[in-house]
Structure 1
């Protein structure tokens, strides 16, 4: 049986990056197989056999396509939304166990695959730990803003003083809150004096606090193997995005420009990705008015597609090449 299929872990409403990477894979002689995790277990099926003679796993997609584990040469782990298709009116006491069992079944299936993964689920989860990645970023020589993660009001007040009253706050994870059918996303925001009297609610949820860095431009540097693709945007190009460009993200997708990141900085990002066991990562960096590069974070499964559409950086093609060549 030919081992020439690339399994793409995603969901049914993902953006067209899936189709573009799939086209590049076909050009390279590989067969892309889309696994919409939101349609498991309702429409997609997994049969995973663990036998004394070895393991045999079979995936049947919602379109009826059948894939055996022995045919899979690589996995592109992009998005993971297991069991989103369960009935909305399903009893919560039954729904939660079903979601957990579905998640474990998919992860067990993925762990049993003996092939290259871009990237392994467990490496992605570990690399998503901001404290861990900042520690490693410092070790490879990247310049970081002062950062505090805490639920202590006193620690935050002292951090505010230590950084001369110029700090921002953000969450460690990306999430949104729905209120009356309106999605409210938690963005990065400045911390002011008046906020210091309202920190007791940290006992319900810790937050990240960071030194506020003056911006000349904001950079998005995407690592694929040993390559780094970078684009920049002027934070003052549109009102409301000075602290977090994502606040006007949908309106600025075509405003980014290709950016030549200095070789030394690009090499540091590749070193960081290697230490994190990642072949892919999307890093956020600030270039200050005095020419310093400040590393903020790296997102193991960060978004990139708008830079391929508008800035034509070639990230989709690099991802396909990385998958077929089994990494760097």
Structure 2
């Protein structure tokens, strides 16, 4: 039996399902909601008789001794926004929030060195850089689109015009905001020179500009250590998903398990190794000429949706195999008989039970982000 610490957000159904799956196998598991600190959580690091880290909060308590060898830290999501009591004066709230952020941030090196991490703290933070991803992907042997990452209007206009007026513009990460007509989300889009705004706007908001790669279909490659599991997404079936498949639910696109060409599989493994990652979700394009082109890697992307749509792809079981370091791991098959659908109802019920308590104690309204 091992012990697992999961750093996550309060509304993360992935973390709840994985925690329940681990417990069903007899493991101890604690979900650490970093945003609960300090209003609904107490954390201490002590050095009397050895380094020790202790948490008490809405989800119970957890203690880590620095020399404990059986702990696995799943670095799912570190939330760096902290909510302090509204009873404090405004100036004190600013100080308390800033010191809370520094304290939680300071705990991460302790965890990084004290236990097995998936993924390692600083490797994970570095992997969030899109320019770094592209550089390392190319070095690993993956094809990438011609790319410019910039806020320089001269550089951007020259790049867009050089392609005969057809480039792809995309944000570093999706941004959601509310408008008069509803909710909006930023996505990738094809741009021409006439679509570019005034220089002031280009300089104010840096973006990624790439050559547009024609697609036969798109692929999500999920890497569990040395194992790569790929599914095909028929993004070209619908007009809305031709540029960005996320504009259409993957349930409509189809999620078909496919084999990754050996050279691409080797390059994906080399990419994770070079970035110091154990887990990662890679988005790729397959062109009409059957070339595989790297777009990006999300070092802790969503993965259970694949099994939710296609139960023949055992994503939950494979991830638990990765966390538990199973010696038989590597064949892409279920070992423990864990199925996403067996935990979905109980995980949703657990989330519903937690939401009112967390909203009351933490002072924020927690919304299910599935």
**SS at 2:60 equivalent:** coil
Q: How many Å separate the matches in 2 of 1:265 and 1:206? A: 30
1:254-283 deviations in whole A, cap 9, x for unaligned? 732222211221121111011100101111
Residue 27 (structure 1) shift: 5.1
Q: How many Å separate the matches in 2 of 1:88 and 1:245? A: 42
Partner of 1:178: 178
**SS at 1:187 equivalent:** coil
1:3-62 deviations in whole A, cap 9, x for unaligned? 8310011111112x22332244235542111112222222222111145x5311111231
TM-score (normalizing by structure 2): 0.79
Partner of 2:278: 279
Q: How many Å separate the matches in 2 of 1:65 and 1:253? A: 42
- Relative to 1, partners in 2 of residues 1:186 and 1:175: Cα closer, same or farther, differing over 3 Å? same
Partner of 2:205: 205
Partner of 1:61: 57
- Relative to 1, partners in 2 of residues 1:90 and 1:237: Cα closer, same or farther, differing over 3 Å? farther
Q: How many Å separate the matches in 2 of 1:197 and 1:56? A: 54
Residue 287 (structure 1) shift: 0.4
Partner of 2:108: 110
1:34 is the counterpart of 2:31: yes
Q: How many Å separate the matches in 2 of 1:174 and 1:90? A: 34
Q: How many Å separate the matches in 2 of 1:170 and 1:69? A: 44
| Residue segments in structure 1 that go unaligned for 5+ positions in a row | none
1:110-149 deviations in whole A, cap 9, x for unaligned? 3213111001222111111111121111111100000001
Partner of 1:22: 19
Partner of 1:258: 257
User: Residues 28 and 324 of structure 1 are in contact (CA less than 8 Å); yes or no, is this contact kept in structure 2?
Assistant: no
TM-score (normalizing by structure 1): 0.89
- Relative to 1, partners in 2 of residues 1:223 and 1:42: Cα closer, same or farther, differing over 3 Å? same
Alignment of 1:111-260 (within 5 A): 111-113=109-111, 114-179=114-179, 182-196=182-196, 198-249=198-249, 252=251, 255-260=254-259
User: Residues 172 and 207 of structure 2 are in contact (CA less than 8 Å); yes or no, is this contact kept in structure 1?
Assistant: yes
Q: How many Å separate the matches in 2 of 1:231 and 1:100? A: 42
User: Residues 40 and 83 of structure 1 are in contact (CA less than 8 Å); yes or no, is this contact kept in structure 2?
Assistant: no
User: Residues 83 and 97 of structure 2 are in contact (CA less than 8 Å); yes or no, is this contact kept in structure 1?
Assistant: no
**SS at 1:35 equivalent:** strand
Q: 296-305 vs 65-74, which deviates more?
A: 65-74
User: Residues 273 and 281 of structure 1 are in contact (CA less than 8 Å); yes or no, is this contact kept in structure 2?
Assistant: yes
Q: How many Å separate the matches in 2 of 1:290 and 1:87? A: 58
Aligned residues: 323
User: Residues 119 and 277 of structure 2 are in contact (CA less than 8 Å); yes or no, is this contact kept in structure 1?
Assistant: yes
